[in-house]
């Protein structure tokens, strides 16, 4: 049975697609991302093996586009606005569920012992 272009079947029977992946700060990983797209019929081990071989043979001029991508990629991925809002709400709820005392950190172990003694005396 013929597979649509861009997809092959894996040994386990599932369909494997050639997804581009995200850009990273590592030029070699960015090269492998492109190499995987062009050679998605290979296994993961073969992609890395052949990709590493090709990367070693490349000149600095050939590697330059991948170096530029890595240089201009931000350190952290930006979150979408809805993800940031959801994270902020979760953080707020966590702070509300904890008491004010639980949020405070003790200054030293001695202070904690004194506070416990004072509570025991009351």
Instruction: Give the model confidence (pLDDT) of 50-99 as tens digits.
Output: 999 999 999 999 999 999 999 988 877 666 767 777 777 777 777 776 66
Q: What gap in Å lies between CA 76 and CA 82, rounded to an integer?
A: 17
Residue 90 and residue 58 share a domain: no
Residue 11 and residue 68 share a domain: yes
Residue 35 and residue 59 share a domain: yes
Residue 85 and residue 30 share a domain: no
Residue 93 and residue 64 share a domain: no
Cα 37 to Cα 6, 27, 68, 69: the distances in Å are 8, 16, 19, 17
Tell me if 1 is assigned to some domain: no
Distance in Å from the first CA to the final CA of the chain = 81
Residue 68 and residue 12 share a domain: yes
Mean residue pLDDT of the chain comes to 77
Query: Would you call 71 helix, strand, or coil by DSSP?
Result: helix
Task: State the pLDDT at residue 104.
Answer: 60
Tell me if 61 is assigned to some domain: yes
**What are the residues facing 8 on neighbouring strands?**
16
Tell me if 29 is assigned to some domain: yes
- The confidence band for 118, taking pLDDT boundaries of 50, 70 and 90, is confident
**Which structural domain range is residue 88 located in?**
81-121
- Domain total of the chain: 2
């Amino acid at each position: 049975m013929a597979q649509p272009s861009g997809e092959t079947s894996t040994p386990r029977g599932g369909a494997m697609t050639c997804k581009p992946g995200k850009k990273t700060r590592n030029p070699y990983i960015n090269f492998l991302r492109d190499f995987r797209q062009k050679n998605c019929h290979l296994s993961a081990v073969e992609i890395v093996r052949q990709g590493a071989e090709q990367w070693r043979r490349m000149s600095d001029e050939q590697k330059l586009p991948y170096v530029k991508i890595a240089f201009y990629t931000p350190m952290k991925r930006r979150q979408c606005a809805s993800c940031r809002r959801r994270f902020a709400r979760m953080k707020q709820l966590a702070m509300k569920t904890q008491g004010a005392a639980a949020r405070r950190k003790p200054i030293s172990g001695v202070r904690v012992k004194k506070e416990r003694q004072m509570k025991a005396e009351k």
